[in-house]
């Protein structure tokens, strides 16, 4: 008889992907979450039983319980699982299990770019008809799913390093996009701790596994333990040259060990997406994929959800949503604003976690040079306790010494209500952060609707 799985907080983008993959492989899946969502709707359509609200009565007495690091020991379902002596698997253990189901495993890791690279890899394989299996941290454009189990050779996944669990995986080919200090609530010694974890991860890989690293990233080049395959703009095995940026697309040439290999066209914006596309192309080639088969589909990939995603447009104003919550990610996202020549670009930044804002304070202050104005909202705590002296009001005062900036307090609905009257036709609004800032576009549209109703239109 196949095992039963119960997911605590099944509705998140990562947990729902794992649950979907298990359902497609014939396992019985149930779970709970505090709110309904489109991800939960998809799971129910596949046969999952999902409860809204965490209650010990939800939990079957003969299941494997799946939880993430975010689930605390005082969760009533977790407490019951402990009392019953049920097997409790971390979400990383489930992903590791899925990766060992006989597929060729391509993994994408690093501080930034994991979702985009794993998603792009899955997308081009899917569009090329190679029927890949995948579990990624976002919805694939056009395809509309974050996970799928199919009969093709390849399994693609995003490998999260935030809690050290990356050491559990053993991909056949792995990309290390970049390494920087982040998740400092877990990595107490910053980049040093991250590199130690990645060195352990690499040392555990099979001897024949291939590791691709970004040769232009100082953190990634500090890794050791084996001979790496490099990619970058210069002095790398795979090099992107002759980069040309246009408003709607970017083109570049790919060289391998100094010899021209292929041209490339992508519709993603920013230099970081040149790196992302180059990494995926190189990983697929090293995995034995016929790159001529997948290359045309790079140009069709419009990006993962919450990665510089246009969420609405009204009265000549365009609103974008981006998950960027680290200074380097913010810089990379805002570098894309260069294509909006002559337009007023407003960044709405919701700091994510007090620890991240505290540890990277000065880096955040220098992350907004590409925009005309910055709106800073209250910190999204993500269950953290406040830190004395670390708050958005103080941060905005320091930012305003070098940049046009203002602090708007309250919920994202209240932020939208205060921002909306200031917007003018031609403005570009970019919401930045991993929290409730994702609702900014929806709330601005609601403000516009209310304004039209008030005018009797």
Give percent above pLDDT 90 in the chain.
81
**Mean pLDDT in residue range 208-227:** 96
Domains of the chain: which residue ranges?
4-91, 99-300, 309-454
CA distance 60 to 77: 10
pLDDT on residue 270: 85
Residue 310 phi/psi, 5° resolution?
Answer: -70, 120
Say if residues 423 and 316 touch (Cβ distance below 8 Å): no
More confident: 38 or 43 = 43
Instruction: Please give the pLDDT value at position 61.
Output: 92
State the architecture of 309-454 in CATH terms. Answer: Alpha-Beta Complex (3.90)
Q: CA 109, CA 99: separation in Å to the nearest integer?
A: 15
Tell me phi and psi for residue 142, to 5 degrees. Answer: 70, -40
**Per-residue pLDDT tens digits for 76-85:** 999 999 999 9
For residue 85, give every residue at least 6 positions away whose Cβ sits within 8 Å of its Cβ, in sequence order, or none: none
Q: Using the predicted structure, report yes or no on whether residue 222 has a pLDDT greater than 90.
A: yes
Beta-strand pair 229-232/173-176: unpaired
Averaged over 325-354, what is the pLDDT? 89
pLDDT grade for 1, boundaries at 50, 70 and 90? low
Q: Tell me if 283 sits within 8 A of 212, measured CB to CB.
A: yes
The strand pairing partners of 407, in sequence order, are 376
* Statement: residue 190 has pLDDT above 80: yes
CA 108 – CA 134 distance, rounded (Å): 12
Asked whether 376 and 357 are in contact (CB, 8 A), the reply is no
| Inter-residue contact 20 to 42 (CB < 8 Å) | yes
> Which of 125-139, 153-167, 412-426, 441-455 shows the lowest mean pLDDT across its residues?
441-455
Mutual angle of helices 271-286 and 327-335, in 10-degree steps: 100
CA distances from 155 to 19, 32, 133, 159 (A): 16, 27, 5, 12
Dmax (CA) of the chain: 70
pLDDT beyond 60 at 183: yes
Torsion region of 157: left, alpha or beta (phi above 0 gives left; psi -120 to 50 gives alpha): beta
Q: Which of 71-85, 325-339, 429-443 has the lowest mean pLDDT?
A: 325-339
Residue of 438, 182, 408, 411 whose CA lies nearest to 323:
438
CATH of 4-91, one of 3.40.50.2000, 2.40.30.10, 3.90.800.10, 3.40.50.720: 3.40.50.720
Distance (Å, rounded) from C-alpha 324 to C-alpha 351?
10
CATH number of 99-300, picked from 3.30.750.24, 3.40.50.720, 3.40.640.10, 3.40.1190.10: 3.40.1190.10
Pick from 244, 214, 229, 234: nearest CA to 172: 229
pTM beyond 0.75: the answer is yes
pLDDT of residue 246: 82
Instruction: Give the integer Cα–Cα distance in Å for 322 and 348.
Output: 10
pLDDT at residue 456 in the model? 63
Instruction: Give me the residue label for tokens 């590199």.
Output: 195
DSSP 371-408: SSEEEE---B-TTPPPBTTB-HHHHHHHHTTTS-EEE-
pLDDT above 90 (res 173):
yes
pLDDT, residue 185, reads: 81
Number of Cβ within 10 Å of residue 191's Cβ equals 17
pLDDT the model gives residue 216: 97
Is residue 107 within 8 Å of residue 173, measured between CB atoms?
Answer: yes
The pair of structure tokens assigned to 214 is 């970004």
What pLDDT shows up at residue 182?
A: 86
- Return the DSSP state at 390: B
| pLDDT tens figures, 276-317 | 999 999 999 999 999 999 999 999 999 887 778 889 999 999
Three-class HEC string of 265-322:
EECCCCHHHHHHHHHHHHHHHHCCCCHHHHHHHHHHCCCCCCCCEEEEEECCEEEEEE
Which pLDDT does position 454 carry in this prediction?
74
Instruction: Answer yes or no: is pLDDT of 195 > 90.
Output: yes
Tens of pLDDT, residues 17-41 = 999 999 999 999 999 998 888 899 9
Average pLDDT taken over every residue of the chain = 94
In this prediction, residue 457 has a pLDDT band, given cuts at 50, 70 and 90, of low
Of all helices (H) and strands (E), which one includes residue 134?
Answer: strand 133-135
């Amino acid at each position: 008889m196949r095992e039963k799985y119960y997911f605590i907080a099944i509705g998140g983008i990562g947990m729902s992907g794992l649950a979907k993959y298990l359902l497609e492989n014939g396992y019985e899946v149930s779970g709970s979450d505090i709110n309904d969502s489109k991800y939960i709707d998809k799971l129910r359509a596949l046969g999952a039983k999902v409860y809204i609200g965490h209650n010990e009565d939800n939990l079957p007495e003969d299941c494997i319980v799946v939880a993430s690091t975010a689930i605390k020991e005082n969760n009533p379902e977790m407490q019951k699982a402990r009392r019953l002596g049920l097997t409790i698997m971390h979400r990383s253990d489930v992903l590791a299990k899925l990766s060992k189901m006989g597929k060729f495993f391509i993994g994408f890791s690093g501080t930034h770019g994991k979702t985009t690279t794993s998603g792009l890899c899955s997308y081009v394989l899917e569009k090329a008809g190679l029927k890949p299996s995948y579990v990624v941290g976002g919805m694939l454009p056009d395809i509309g799913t974050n996970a799928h189990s199919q009969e093709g050779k390849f399994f693609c996944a995003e490998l999260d390093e935030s809690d050290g669990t990356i050491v559990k995986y053993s991909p056949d080919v792995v990309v290390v996009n970049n390494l920087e200090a982040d998740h400092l609530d877990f990595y107490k010694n910053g980049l040093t701790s991250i590199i130690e974890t990645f060195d352990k991860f690499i040392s555990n890989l099979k001897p024949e596994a291939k590791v691709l690293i970004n040769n232009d990233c100082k953190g990634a080049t500090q890794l050791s333990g084996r001979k790496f395959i490099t990619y970058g703009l210069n002095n790398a095995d795979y090099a992107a040259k002759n980069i040309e940026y246009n408003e709607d697309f970017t083109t570049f040439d790919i060289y391998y060990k100094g010899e021209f290999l292929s041209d490339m066209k992508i519709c993603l914006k920013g230099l970081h997406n040149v790196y992302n596309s180059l990494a995926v192309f190189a990983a697929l080639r090293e995995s034995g994929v016929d790159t001529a088969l997948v290359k045309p589909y790079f140009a069709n990939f419009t990006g993962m959800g919450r990665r510089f995603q246009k969420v609405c447009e009204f009265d000549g104003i365009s609103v974008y949503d981006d998950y960027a919550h680290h200074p380097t990610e913010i810089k990379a996202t805002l570098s894309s604003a260069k294509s909006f020549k002559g337009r007023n670009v407003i960044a709405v930044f919701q700091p994510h976690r007090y620890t991240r804002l505290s540890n990277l304070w000065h880096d955040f202050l220098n992350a907004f040079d590409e925009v005309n104005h910055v709106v800073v909202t209250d910190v999204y705590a993500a269950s953290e306790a406040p830190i004395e002296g670390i708050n958005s009001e103080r941060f905005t005062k320091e930012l305003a010494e070098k940049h046009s900036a203002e602090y708007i307090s309250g919920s994202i609905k209240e932020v939208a209500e205060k921002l909306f009257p200031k917007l003018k036709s031609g403005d570009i609004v970019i919401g930045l952060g991993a929290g409730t800032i994702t609702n900014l576009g929806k709330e601005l549209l609601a403000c516009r609707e209310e304004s039209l109703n008030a005018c009797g239109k």
